[in-house]
């Protein structure tokens, strides 16, 4: 496995790979890798000849006061995981190599980014689309793989790829969970043992939403209220949002008539956790 730190070198390696006829698969990450990331590598390997994984804690997607400085980092551990997962190239750029001191161009998606996490993290998705567009220009992948865990993010990126005619395919890997249902996340390491237990309320709320949808409940407000009631059983949990939105447009919906994204952001102590599931309308009998 090659470890590349220079943007120019990464571009040269990708150019050479493409000239040799290789399909390039790409998994962008912020590091502190876990099984969720590795599941995306496996998807990329099945669809490409060479897999590039990037580790870059992108400063411009963090708002002032967020956890940029404390975001967990473990390059040595990540490198070992990438090697054993069969990553061909680990791209690990320096922030100074990614952003010129006077950089002044951003990529912004303006329809899907406003609600859900975007409403609470203004500017976050602009930072994400900008860095992902840059990474696509550097790695030049044929296929890029993102996780359903960050449902809004991958929908925003798909829109960017469509609207800017970027010549690649975007695939979505399912959310990988701990055995007890907690969605894997680098930020789970912030949780104390008690908080780790409290964090299960997100998955419980989603399980309740699925249960109701399967039972034929079509009122989005009733499903939302039931999810809120589940979270309320955990006193340390502070809801940022519980939303049910059309899975394609991310606009609010009243009835479960098409696939609906049930998504929530909850603070457990100081840690902000997100999770989601897609609800399907029950077949009418």
Q: How far is the CB of 225 from ligand AMP (least distance, A)?
A: 27
For ligand AMP, the binding residues in 4-43 under the rule CB under 6 A are: 29-30, 36-37, 39-40
Compute the least distance from the CB of residue 35 to ligand AMP, in Å: 7
Q: Under the criterion CB under 6 A, does residue 170 sit at the interface with ligand AMP?
A: no
Alpha-carbon gap, residue 78 to 55, rounded angstroms = 9
Q: How far is the CB of 175 from ligand AMP (least distance, A)?
A: 4
Residue 58's CB is within 10 A of a number of other CB atoms, namely 21
CA angle 118, 149, 133 (to 5 degrees): 60
183 DSSP 8-state letter:
B
For ligand AMP (CB under 6 A), the number of binding residues is: 17
Among 43, 51, 170, 184, binds ligand AMP (CB under 6 A): 184
Residue 176 binds to ligand AMP (criterion: CB under 6 A)? yes
Whole-number Cα distances in Å, 245 to 193, 223, 259: 32, 12, 9
**Which of 147, 155, 160, 279 forms a contact with ligand AMP (CB under 6 A)?**
147
Catalytic residue status for 15 = no
> What strand order describes the sheet that includes 237-246?
237-246, 260-268, 271-279
**Number of residues that make up the chain:** 285
Nearer to ligand AMP, 66 or 221 (CB): 66
Ordered DSSP codes for 17-36: HHHTT--EEEEEE-SS--HH
Helix axes 35-47, 75-85, angle to 10 degrees: 40
C-beta of 29: minimal distance to ligand AMP in Å?
4
Residues 6+ away with beta carbon under 8 Å from 77: 33
Q: How near is the Cβ of 147 to ligand AMP at its closest, in Å? A: 2
Cβ–Cβ under 8 Å, residues 71 and 199: no
Phi-psi region of 192 (alpha: psi -120 to 50; beta: other; left: phi over 0): beta
Closer residue to ligand AMP in complex, CB, 145/220: 145
CB nearer ligand AMP, residue 149 or residue 203: 149
**Contact by Cβ (8 Å): 150, 125:** no
**Is 206 a binder of ligand AMP (CB under 6 A)?**
no
Q: Which is nearer to ligand AMP, 40 or 209 (CB)?
A: 40
Residue 99's CB is within 10 A of a number of other CB atoms, namely 16
For residues 150 to 169, the per-residue mask of contacts with ligand AMP, x marking binding by CB under 6 A and - elsewhere, is x-------------------
Task: Say how many CA atoms lie within 13 Å of 28 toward its Cβ.
Answer: 27
Nearer to ligand AMP, 184 or 256 (CB): 184
Q: Does 173 bind ligand AMP (CB under 6 A)?
A: yes
Please say which residue, 35 or 163, places its beta carbon nearer to ligand AMP: 35
Instruction: Pick the binder of ligand AMP from 14, 129, 130, 185 (CB under 6 A).
Output: 185
Answer yes or no whether residue 264 interacts with ligand AMP by CB under 6 A. Answer: no
One of 15, 34, 37, 124 is an active-site residue; which one? Answer: 37
By the criterion CB under 6 A, which residues form the site for ligand AMP?
29-30, 36-37, 39-40, 146-147, 149-150, 173, 175-176, 183-186
Catalytic residues: 37
């Amino acid at each position: 496995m090659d470890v590349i730190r220079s943007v120019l070198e990464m571009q040269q390696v990708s150019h050479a790979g493409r000239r040799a006829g290789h399909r390039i698969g790409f998994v962008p990450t912020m590091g502190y890798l876990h099984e969720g990331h590795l599941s995306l590598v496996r998807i990329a390997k099945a669809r490409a000849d060479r897999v590039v994984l990037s580790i870059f804690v992108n400063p411009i997607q963090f708002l002032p006061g967020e956890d940029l400085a404390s975001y967990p980092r473990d390059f040595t551990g990540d490198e070992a995981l990438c090697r054993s997962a069969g990553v061909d190239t680990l791209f690990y750029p320096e922030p100074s190599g990614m952003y010129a001191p006077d950089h002044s161009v951003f990529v912004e998606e303006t329809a899907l980014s406003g609600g859900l996490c975007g409403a609470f993290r203004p500017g976050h998705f602009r930072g994400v689309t900008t860095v992902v567009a840059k990474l696509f220009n550097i790695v030049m992948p044929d296929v890029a793989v993102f996780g359903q865990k960050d449902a809004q993010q991958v929908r925003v990126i798909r829109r960017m790829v469509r609207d800017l005619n970027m010549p690649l395919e975007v695939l979505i890997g399912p959310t990988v969970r701990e055995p007890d249902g907690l969605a894997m996340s680098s930020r789970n390491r912030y949780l104390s043992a008690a908080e780790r237990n409290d964090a299960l309320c997100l998955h419980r709320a989603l399980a309740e939403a699925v249960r109701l949808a399967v039972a034929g409940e079509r009122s989005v407000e009733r499903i939302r209220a039931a999810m809120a009631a589940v979270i309320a059983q955990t006193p340390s949990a502070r809801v940022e949002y519980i939303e049910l939105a059309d899975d394609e447009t991310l606009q609010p919906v009243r009835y479960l008539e098409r696939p609906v994204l049930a998504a929530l952001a909850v603070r457990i102590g100081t840690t902000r956790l997100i999770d989601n599931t897609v609800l399907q309308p029950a077949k009418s009998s």
